[in-house]
Structure 1
Amino acid sequence: MTETLFAARSPDALPESWTRREILQQPATLRATQAVLEAGRDGIEAFLGPLLAKPDLRIMLCGAGTSAFIGECLAPWLTASLGRPVEAVATTDIVSAPRLYLDAKRPTLMVSFGRSGNSPESIAAVELADMCGGAVHHLLITCNADGALSRRASDTSHVVILPEETHDRAFAMTSSFSAMMLAALSIFTGIDAMHDRVEAIADTVAAVIAQSEDMVAGLAARGFERVVYLGSGLFQGLARESALKLLELTDGAVPTMFDSSLGFRHGPKTIVTAGTLIMVFVSNDPLTRLYDLDMIEELRTDAHRGTVIAVTTQPSGGTELLVSSSANFADVDLLFPFIVPAQLFGLHYALNLGRTPDQPNATGTVNRVVQGVRIHTPNP
């Protein structure tokens, strides 16, 4: 293996950046998000109550990029806990093929996530849903009080504006991702019921930040040529978000991919070289965990394996980032502490490459709020 060795930087010696600040602020922004929800609980419940009483209500979790991956993380869990189908549908899919995703015959709740609330596809998806007719309602969760989504309050919509500090100034979404994900989880779980859970989640996120940064900085200093993120169930969505964070923050310098633990064997495993880092998010579900551990064991005994890191609440028998005090957490609560090592790894890898984390793409070919999208009106 040819390994590029960078010097791991002490956290105290890191240059100031919004990216790092927004990663580190997540314990506070999670608590602040829950406080906003508790203050607005009556309005949220008055809006959602009649909708959730409809047995045939279709719930869609929508967004673009990282905002879409919130839905991928939450949809399986909410489907099981609510006892009704909850779909994750990217706004980029809705806009490009609305007839495949919008159904005027069914009452629909479209939950839209938007950091800025100004992404062209997010706005267009809401408009297309309204144009298709039928009983469509919108729950709009955004971090920007001045964004286009925040101004769409009506009889068929309800806007939840999260604390200003969640409106990340950096290019890559970090605290906005966790805050919007918590908002949806809390709203559909029961805002009051989430109060103590949010405290435990925030405490665990703080502990992971404190214990993981030196470790991931050391991993980033090894200059892996490829990085793979694996997760089962909810954690496949988290693996996808983790892969995107590294791709964004390194400006595409490090090839990344994501998959489920079981799915990885079916061809994608060919990506692994001696210079590959594989980060596995290990489920707390007893059955799912066994499959994650089988994959870890297989990778660790493979003659051509790379470096395998388990992000886990229980010892895995090898190199791991142990998320302490959360062995009894449901997987949905682990989404919040588990994303932190991936965010920090992307940050430190970017710094080692000499990138500016807040704006890693110096050419301007990608932007904090996507540009260059032409919205085409579908034929009647």
Structure 2
Amino acid sequence: MTTTPETSDLPAAPPGAAHTSREIGQQPRLWRRMAERVEAGGTELRAFLSPLLADPSLRIVLTGAGTSAFAGGIAAPALAAATGRTVEAVATTDIVATPHACFPDRDRPTLLVSFARSGNSPESTAATALAEQLLDHCAHLLVTCNADGALALAHRERADSYVLLTPPEAEDQGFAMTSSLTCMLLGALGALGAGEVRGLGGVAESAEAVLGEASVRQVAALTGRGLDRFVYLGSGPLKALANESALKLLELTGGAVSALADSSLGFRHGPKAFLTPRTGVVVFVSNDPYTRRYDLDIFAELSAALPTGQVIAVAGRLDGLPAAHTWLLPGMAEAEDAALALPAVVCAQLVALHTSLAYGVTPDNPFPDGEVNRVVQGVTVHPLP
């Protein structure tokens, strides 16, 4: 069935930003459809996953490259809690380069969960092949946007594999991964979290608020300051969100704006030297009461060090944060951080989009000379000895 792409919730985009703007704005609607897809495949999906999850020794490896790798980092703690199994996020780039280190136990039953927008990146197919070569028992859950990608085609008829497809519009046509990331993340959380990830049901409504006029004005106020570097900070799964946010800014500005990501505690250990008076800081504040204390500490410290308004908290609730410098995520006050990350990453996507436009870059194609590509090129996968 062919589905007509939905229009963006954002205002009409300037030339060179139509795809990216639409793909950021369409996310709440696609998330609802992604949840429906997981539910519609429930019987078949459960039949595939239940025997695997019944084994207490099962290791679940969440993998992908770049943004897709960060999806695994966001999801891993919540899925470990939901499944009661060992869950680790390991990038395909690490698997391909150091496969023996990533799969040290040949007899350990493993479910490899592969995130892939196109499924055509060389590391995507290489990682699944290496897992099978080094493991006696390996099953695959493929979460991808492209039914015709190499990864989906290689696995869709296999009994040891399940291909979970996002809505087709999630295969972003813009350079950077936006709706592809969030739909794949939501799909994995829904499929493996089995409804145990608190707050997941409210993410679409929260993101709709983030995409509203008032929130977009807040983003424009920050990105209109002429800042030339950004820092993103977060703890636990929100550190992976910080990494994704920094990558999105680098990508959409074509490298014109520097970006750094770290944990709230780790930032003081050297990376703090990155700060200048023209640095913007975004702190993703955890909902975990203990972890949150460290996020609040670094937010207060950096707010005192930088010009007023250049340090922003993104949070599900205020609780110790100044309202004037906090971007609230409605409905996320009690959400687990993996769910909180979904509307929070929309904030980061908007920052990247607005900064790109402020610097005169075309976000749909920030590298017109082809120096960096939408689907990675130039990778030689060497045979394993």
TM-score of the aligned structures, taking structure 1 as reference length: 0.93
Are residue 249 (structure 1) and residue 252 (structure 2) matched? yes
Are the counterparts in 2 of residues 31 and 199 from structure 1 also a CA contact under 8 Å? no
SS state at 1:184 partner: helix
Question: What is the CA–CA distance in structure 2 between the aligned matches of 1:217 and 1:363, rounded to whole Å?
Answer: 28
Structure 1 gap segments, 5+ residues each: 1-9
Structure 1 position 44 matched with structure 2 position 48: no
Shift of 1:105: 1.7
Provide the secondary structure at the position in 2 that maps to 1:232.
coil
Q: Is the Cα–Cα contact under 8 Å of residues 272 and 306 in structure 1 kept in the other structure?
A: no
Q: Is the 8 A contact 2:287 2:336 kept in 1?
A: yes
- Deviation per residue, 1:270-301 (Å, 9 max, x gap): 11111110000011111111111111111122
Which residue identity does 1:69 align to in structure 2? F
1:258 aligned partner, one-letter code: A
Aligned with residue 272 of structure 1, among 272, 275, 284 = 275
- Post-superposition Cα deviations, 1:156-183, rounded to whole Å, max 9, x if no partner, equal 1111111101111111000010000001
- Structure 1 vs Structure 2 CA RMSD: 1.8
**Alignment partner of 2:35: what SS?**
helix
**Contact 1:229–1:239, Cα closer than 8 Å, also in 2:** yes
- Structure 1 CA distance, aligned partners of 2:70 and 2:173? 20
1:186 corresponds to 2:186:
no
Q: Partner of 2:176 in structure 1?
A: 172
- Residue aligning to 1:209: 211
Tell me, which stretches of 5 or more residues in structure 2 are unaligned? 1-9
Contact 2:199 2:334 in 1 (8 A): no
Per mean C-alpha deviation after superposition, the further-off stretch among 161-170 and 298-307 is 298-307
Counterparts of 1:223 and 1:362, CA distance in 2: 24
- My pick for the range that moved more, 302-311 or 227-236, is 302-311
Which residue of 2 is the match for residue 121 of structure 1?
Answer: 123
Aligned to 1:74: 75
Aligned residues: 368
Q: Is the 8 A contact 2:216 2:350 kept in 1?
A: yes
Q: Distance in 2 between matches of 1:378 and 1:306?
A: 52
Match of 2:236 in 1: 233
2:264 & 2:135 partners in 1: Cα distance?
A: 40
Sequence identity, in percent?
51
Q: What is the deviation of 1:142?
A: 0.5
Structure 2 equivalent of residue 4 of structure 1: none
Relative to structure 1, is the Cα distance of residues 171 and 13 closer, same or farther in structure 2, using a 3 angstrom cutoff? closer
Distance (Å, rounded) in 2 between the aligned partners of 1:351 and 1:233? 31
**Alignment partners' CA distance in 1, 2:199 and 2:292:** 22
In structure 2, the CA distance between the partners of 1:160 and 1:12, relative to structure 1 (3 Å rule), is closer
**Amino acid of the residue matched to residue 73 of structure 1?**
I
After superposition, give the CA deviation of every residue in 1:242-289 in whole Å (9 maximum; x if it has no partner). 000000000111111101111111111111111110000011111111
SS in 2 for 1:99: helix
315-324 or 26-35, which deviates more: 315-324
Select 1:340's aligned residue among 346, 349, 353. Answer: 346
For the Cα contact (< 8 Å) 1:228–1:243, is it kept in 2? yes
Q: Do residues 375 (structure 1) and 381 (structure 2) align?
A: yes
Asked whether the equivalents of residues 116 and 143 of structure 1 are also in contact (C-alpha less than 8 Å), the reply is: yes
One-letter identity of the residue aligned with 1:58: R
Inter-partner Cα distance in structure 1 for 2:143 and 2:194: 16
Report what 1:3 is aligned to.
none
**Secondary structure, counterpart of 2:211 in structure 1:** helix
Q: CA, structure 1 residues 222+304, in 2 after alignment: closer, same or farther (shift >3 Å)?
A: closer
SS at match of 1:264: helix
Q: Which residue in the other structure is 2:95 paired with? A: 94
**1:313 Cα deviation after fit:** 2.3
Residue in 2 that maps onto 1:298: 301
Query: What SS is found at the alignment partner of 1:113?
Result: strand
Distance in 2 (alpha carbons) for counterparts of 1:291 and 1:367:
37
Structure 2 distance, partners of 1:58, 1:204, is 33
CA contact (8 A) 1:168 1:174 kept: yes
For normalisation by structure 2, the TM-score amounts to 0.92
State the 1:133 CA deviation: 3.9
Aligned match of 1:26: 27
Distance 2:35 2:371 in 1: 36
Quickly say closer, same or farther: Cα 1:150–1:13, change in 2 above 3 A. closer
Letter in 2 for 1:138: H
CA shift in 2, pair 1:364/1:249, >3 Å: same
1:209-240 CA distances to partner (integer Å, 9 max, x unpaired)? 11321211222221212100000111000000
Shift of 1:14: 3.6
CA shift digits 1:298-351 (9 cap, x unpaired)? 112226898211111223125121223321222221111101111011111111
Q: How far 1:95 sits from its partner (Å)?
A: 0.5
Per mean C-alpha deviation after superposition, the further-off stretch among 233-242 and 301-310 is 301-310
Partner amino acid, structure 2, of 1:57? L
Cα offset, 1:84, TM superposition: 2.3
Structure-2 separation of matches of 1:233 and 1:93: 20
- Deviation, 1:12, is 4.6
Name the SS of the counterpart of 2:162 in structure 1.
strand
Question: Per-residue CA shift, 1:11-37, capped at 9, x if unaligned?
Answer: 456445110100000100100111111
Is the Cα–Cα contact under 8 Å of residues 274 and 305 in structure 1 kept in the other structure?
no
Three-state SS of the structure 2 residue aligned to 1:186 is: helix
> Which shifted more, 65-74 or 352-361?
352-361
